[in-house]
Amino acid sequence: MSTWSARLEELGIELPGVAAPLAAYVPATQSGSWVFTSGQLPFVDGKLPATGKVGAEVSPEEAKEYSATCILNALAAVDALVGIDSIKRVVKVVGFVASAEGFTGQPGVINGASELLGEIFGDAGRHARSAVGVSELPIGAPVEIELIVEV
């Protein structure tokens, strides 16, 4: 396998279209050899598959799947800016989980994104990470993820 796009095809993964920004920002920006994405929500065809807090309206298992959707949206933003095959490595993932009171499983939720990056990029997908519980996310999303890659 010679390219990340070939790996996506091998896994049967098609990157979605870039999610339209909800406010005054761009989906991704490059500075030198780094690409930073804006926070990506788990949009599917322009809609959230669920709203609410993890540990209440949204199960941790569902939220883990949504975090994988977020990372695909982040990769789509990177792809639109510089091309997926220009990625040298994944550097950092920052995950935010809208959490019900007492929910402490944020790392498990964000594993959905981390595990998918490992599947796609192998060792180049190993990254630093934060998994943060928050009281609310934009438009009621259960999960939001930012991605930093080196190109």
Q: Which domains does the chain have, with CATH numbers?
A: 4-16+30-150 (3.30.1330.40)
Tell me the whole-structure pTM to 2 decimals.
Answer: 0.96
Q: pLDDT value at position 1? A: 44
Q: pLDDT value at position 29? A: 98
Beta strands in 38-88 (DSSP E): none
Cα 39 to Cα 68: distance, rounded to the nearest angstrom: 13
Beta strands in the chain (DSSP E): 28-31, 34-37, 89-98, 128-134, 143-150
3: Cβ contacts below 8 Å, ≥ 6 apart: 84, 85
Q: What is the pLDDT tens value at each position of the chain, 151 positions in all?
A: 459 999 999 999 999 999 888 889 999 999 999 999 999 999 999 999 999 999 999 999 999 999 999 999 999 999 999 999 999 999 999 999 999 999 999 999 999 999 999 999 999 999 999 999 999 999 999 999 999 999 9
